[in-house]
Amino acid sequence: MAKPPGGASDSRLELEADAAATAVYDEVQDDRAGGSGGSAGPGGSGASGVSFSALRNRLRLPPTFRRPMAIIGMSIIVLWFLVAIFVPWIAPYDPLAQQFDRLQAPNAVNWFGTDSLGRDVLSRTLYGARISLPLALILVVASAIIGSVLGAVAGYFGRAVDEIIMRFSDLVFAFPTIILAMIVTAALGPSLTNAVIALLLVSWPSYARVMRSMVLGARSREYVVAGRLLGFSPFTSLRRDILPNVAAPVLVLATLDFGNAILLLSGLSFLGLGATPPTPEWGAMVADGVQQFSDWWLAAFPGLAIFTVVVAFNLVGDALRDSLDPRTAGAVQGVKI
Partner 1 sequence: MRIFNSGAGSTRAGLRITGLVAIGLASVLVVAGCTDNSQSTSSTSAADKTLVIDKSFDLKTSDPARAFELTGSIVDKAIYETVLDFDGSDVTKVQPGIATFEENADNTVLTLTMTGTHTFSDGSPVTADDIVFSLQRVQGIAGNPSFLLDGVTVAKTSDTTVTLTSATSNPALPFILPNPSLGILNSKVLMANGGTTGADDQAEAFLNKTSAGSGPYQLESYDVTTKVAFALNPNYAGDKPAYGRVVLENVEGPTQKINVQAGSTQIALDLNADQVQGMDSSVKITKNASPYLIYSWYNQDPAVSGGVTDNADFVKAVRQGIDYSKLLSIAGEGSTQPGGMVPSMFLGAIESDPANVFDLDKAKASLAASGYSGQPVTFSYPNDITVNGLQMQTPAEAIQSQLKDVGITLTLAPSPISTFLDAFRAGTLQSGIMYWGPDYPDPADYLVFNPGESLGKRAGWAAGSDPTVTAAADAAAAASGDDARKTAYEAWQNAANASGPFIPVIQPGQYAVSTSEITQLDLNPVWTVDIADIK
Residue numbers at the binding site for partner 1 (CB under 8 A) = 96-98, 102-103, 116-117, 189-190, 272, 276-278, 290-295
Q: Which is nearer to partner 1, 139 or 287 (CB)?
A: 287
Q: Rounded to the nearest 5°, which phi and psi values hold at 120?
A: -75, 120
Cα distance between residue 206 and residue 173, in whole Å: 8
Cβ proximity to partner 1, 92 vs 277, nearer residue: 277
Min dist. Cβ of residue 283 to partner 1 (A): 14
Q: Least distance to partner 1 from the beta carbon of 179, Å?
A: 16
* Burial tier of 203 (Cβ tally within 10 Å: 0-12, 13-18, 19+): buried
Task: Return the sign of the alpha-carbon dihedral for residues 162, 164, 166, 167.
Answer: positive
Q: How far apart are CA 280 and CA 121, in angstroms?
A: 9
Query: Shortest approach of partner 1 to residue 291 CB, angstroms?
Result: 6
CB of 89 to partner 1, least distance (A): 23
Nearer to partner 1, 213 or 276 (CB): 276
Instruction: Give the C-alpha separation, 283 to 268, whole Å.
Output: 7
Shorter beta-carbon distance to partner 1: residue 116 or 213: 116
Plot region of 272 (φ>0 → left; ψ -120 to 50 → alpha; else → beta): left
Smaller CB distance to partner 1: residue 190 or 334?
190
Least separation in angstroms between CB 138 and partner 1? 22
Nearby residues of 189 by Cβ (< 8 Å), 6 or more positions away = none
| DSSP 8-state class, residue 66 | -
Q: What are the beta bridge partners of residue 114?
A: 120
Shortest Cβ 5–partner 1 spacing (Å): 52
d(CA 215, CA 220): 9
Whether the upstream peptide bond of residue 244 has omega within 30° of 0, thus cis, is: no
In terms of CB distance, is 88 or 189 closer to partner 1?
189
CB of 278 to partner 1, least distance (A): 5
Angle, helix 243-270 to helix 121-157, in steps of 10 degrees: 140
The smaller minimum CB distance to partner 1, of residues 115 and 318, is found at 115
CB atoms inside a 10 Å sphere around CB 97: 12
